[in-house]
Amino acid sequence: MPIYEYQCKACGHRLEKLQKISADPLTDCPSCEAPELNRLVSAAGFRLAGGGWYETDFKTGGSKKNLAGDSSSSNSSSSGGDAAA
């Protein structure tokens, strides 16, 4: 389910709401209760659930593992700044 971002035209209150794609957009502001809530166009948001969904994905075998606690993979990705430029 996507996370939608809303802003009230009346009071400026902003919020995020986890909703089904088929759900109707929200209209009433939870802060001032005015029917002035508009959905904003923003980057798609999503939520990853679970603690180890990636642990078995893309393993190359042997001693190389794609684990969250592996400090060598996080160090190599953060130190390669000039490769992305």
Residue 85 confidence (pLDDT): 44
pLDDT in tens, 28-45: 999 999 999 999 987 766
DSSP-derived pairing of the beta strands 37-39 and 3-8: antiparallel
Let me know if 26 is exposed, middle or buried by CB neighbors in 10 A (0-12, 13-18, 19+).
Answer: middle
Question: Mean pLDDT, consecutive 10-residue segments, the chain of 85 residues?
Answer: 91 93 93 94 70 61 58 50 48
Residue 6 confidence (pLDDT): 95
Residue 34 confidence (pLDDT): 95
